[in-house]
Amino acid sequence: MRRALADGYELDDDPARIDVDFVFNYLSLESYWAQGRPREVVERSLAGSARVVGLYHTGAQVGFARVISDGAVLAYLGDVFVDAAHRGRGLGVELVRESVDGGPQRELSWRLDTSDAMELYSRLGFKERVAPPVHMERRAGWRP
């Protein structure tokens, strides 16, 4: 998949095109959810994702999202970001739209976690769960 957007922007799900340094630098240094994630872990997370979607501007990567899925029941959208210089012009919505509706996981049940971008995701069918079933997690590194 390769989809041209306005003003020289483009979405592409070719894993070979991902700028690993760009993704690693954002996640590890700037994101609020993956601070300090080692480069080797980022590389494995890319390799193990069902789909990775890059946002590009005149050839250079400026955004990213990835899909984790069993391909049958459930898909999880993670590590979504648009470089700060390119925000506020509808690219985040297009990046998420392509990630969720543009691939083979489109008919599955989707999950994601976010601290503040609920409005963006609600435009694409995501709803906050305010009643059971309750979302539970076991954090990496947990020991009894």
Q: Per-residue x/- mask for ligand COA, residues 19 to 58, rule CB under 6 A?
A: ----------------------------------------
Q: Applying CB under 6 A, does 129 fall inside the site for ligand COA?
A: no
Given a contact cutoff of 8 angstroms between Cβ atoms, the answer to whether 64 and 26 are in contact is yes
From CA 144, how far away is CA 130, in angstroms rounded?
29
Q: Which of 87, 104, 109, 129 binds ligand COA (CB under 6 A)?
A: 87
Instruction: Name residue, tokens 């995501």.
Output: 126
Chosen residue from 40, 107, 119, 137 binding ligand COA by CB under 6 A = 119
In whole angstroms, how close is the CB of 16 to ligand COA at the nearest point?
23
Q: Which of 52, 62, 91, 100 binds ligand COA (CB under 6 A)?
A: 91
DSSP β-ladder status, 51-57 and 60-69: antiparallel
Out of 40, 107, 116, 128, the only residue in the binding site for ligand COA (CB under 6 A) is 116
- Planar angle of CA 30, 31, 34, nearest 5 degrees: 120
What are the φ/ψ torsions at residue 62 (nearest 5 degrees)? -130, 5
Nearer CB in complex with ligand COA: 88/133 = 88
Residue 101 CB coordination number (10 Å): 13
Closest to ligand COA by CB, 105 vs 121, is: 121
Q: How many residues bind ligand COA (CB under 6 A)?
A: 15
Please list, in sequence order, all residues whose beta carbon lies within 8 angstroms of the beta carbon of residue 45, skipping any fewer than 6 positions away. 66, 79
What is the contact surface with ligand COA in residues (CB under 6 A)?
80-82, 87-93, 114, 116-117, 119-120
